[in-house]
Structures are given as structure tokens and as C-alpha cells.
Chains A and B, each alone.
Chain A
Amino acid sequence: DAKTTQPNSMESNEEEPVHLPCNHSTISGTDYIHWYRQLPSQGPEYVIHGLTSNVNNRMASLAIAEDRKSSTLILHRATLRDAAVYYCILRDGNSGGSNYKLTFGKGTLLTVNP
């Protein structure tokens, strides 16, 4: 499984944008970049994913470097509810359909200050 590297922790202020970086220098051409987050005492939840182009959804934006060796998850206006551990995960696009494993690293613990 291709590895990702994330900062252990980051801090942000409420209502400010947050940029969470992820390095994945050994990414292969078929690997998708997925982001999940885990709120305290809850299961992980999907945030966003992408392959080559930048992506936006209601939760966040994903900016992918042109060489795909790094990506950044962008929360446009952090709220207290966004305090969580954020995981950047590479998923093999060749794995079969809906059956694939997610390999979680340590993630980034995001603290949001009021």
C-alpha cells in the first residue's frame, strides 16, 4: 500500500480556512486520494476523494498537485464541529468495485479554537 505523510497536529481558529497537507510521493497512476475524518468517539466518515483534478463538495475541497505527489484538504470556514482526526488515504483504483481496504495512517489531529 502506498504511504501517506501528514502532520501530527494542526490548529485553526473558528471561521478561518484550514489547509491540511498530505504527501504521497510513491502514489501510483491508479491510486485515488481519499480523505476521511474521525470525530471524537465516532466512526470515521468520508470527506472527499479525487484522482487528478481538484474536487469540491459540500464539506471541503481537495487540491491535488500536478505531479500528484501531494494534496491538500481545504476546509473553507472551520467550525468547532470540524475538530477531528483527518486521514489522507490512497486507494488502489484497480481494486474490485466496492470491495477495497482503506489503510489508515496516524492522520492529523485538527484543533479548532473558538
Chain B
Amino acid sequence: DTAVSQTPKYLVTQMGNDKSIKCEQNLGHDTMYWYKQDSKKFLKIMFSYNNKELIINETVPNRFSPKSPDKAHLNLHINSLELGDSAVYFCASSQVYEQFFGPGTRLTVL
């Protein structure tokens, strides 16, 4: 039983393309997040949603648009991909004291 799942696991694409990453959690949590881990392994929060409402937006370029169709799903759409977008993207959901992370999506922009 996967608590937080992401698709795809790997994504290789060309600069300028538009792509989406999907996330689903079956934990019944109200809050979900997107984090980005760059090549230097720094892990930074991008967005958080609570019950489909955007709560945290950490000065991410507006090429990144999260969408939450329901509280179990939080998708990340990225327009006009750039080389610097190459990273591992982690989805997470949380209860009060613990965040549960997905396995990550490794995005490579060529």
C-alpha cells in the first residue's frame, strides 16, 4: 500500500516543452506539498495545499502551476521547461507532526 505515489518516476524532455507530474496520497491528509531537490541535494519547499487551497508559494516562477483537483491529489504542471528545472521533485502529505514523502520524480531537461 503506497502512501504517497508519484508518476512518472523519470521524465526526460527537451527545453521549452510543457510537462506534468502527478501525485496521489491515500492517507486521508488535508495537506499536500511539492518540494524540489536540486543537483546539490538541497531540498526546498515549493508549494503547499490544504484542502485544495494554495497556502504556501515559495517564490516559484509562474511557469510552475500546481493544481489540486481533490485533497488526495496534487499535480505539478511546468510550462516552457528550462535546463535549471532539472531536479528531483518530491510530493508529500502531512499530519500534524509528520510529513510523508513520495518516491520522487527525476526530471531531466535537455
**Which A positions have Cβ atoms within 8 angstroms of B?**
32, 34, 36, 38, 41-46, 49, 85, 87, 97-104, 106
Contact = CB atoms under 8 A, between A and B. Distances in A.
A98 to B, nearest CB: 5
Nearest to A104: B43
25 contacts: A36-B99, A42-B103, A43-B92, A43-B101, A43-B103, A44-B43, A44-B90, A44-B99, A46-B100, A49-B98, A85-B41, A98-B50, A98-B94, A98-B95, A99-B30, A99-B31, A99-B50, A99-B55, A99-B94, A101-B33, A101-B45, A101-B56, A101-B58, A103-B45, A104-B43
Interface residues of B, number: 28
A101 B32 CA distance: 10
A55 to B, nearest CB: 11
Tell me if A's interface is mostly helix, strand, loop or mixed: loop
Given A43-B90, A43-B92, A44-B90, A101 B48 contact: yes
B102 A43 contact: yes
Interface of B: 4, 29-31, 33, 41-45, 48, 50, 55-56, 58, 90, 92, 94-104
Given A44-B101, A99-B48, 17 more contacts: A32-B97, A34-B97, A36-B99, A42-B104, A44-B43, A49-B97, A97-B96, A98-B30, A98-B50, A99-B50, A99-B56, A101-B33, A101-B48, A101-B58, A102-B99, A104-B43, A104-B44
A98 B96 contact: yes
Contacts of A100: 94
A98 B104 contact: no
Contacts of B97: 32, 34, 46, 49
Contacts of A103: 45
A98 B104 CA distance: 21
B30 A102 contact: no
A49 B98 CA distance: 9
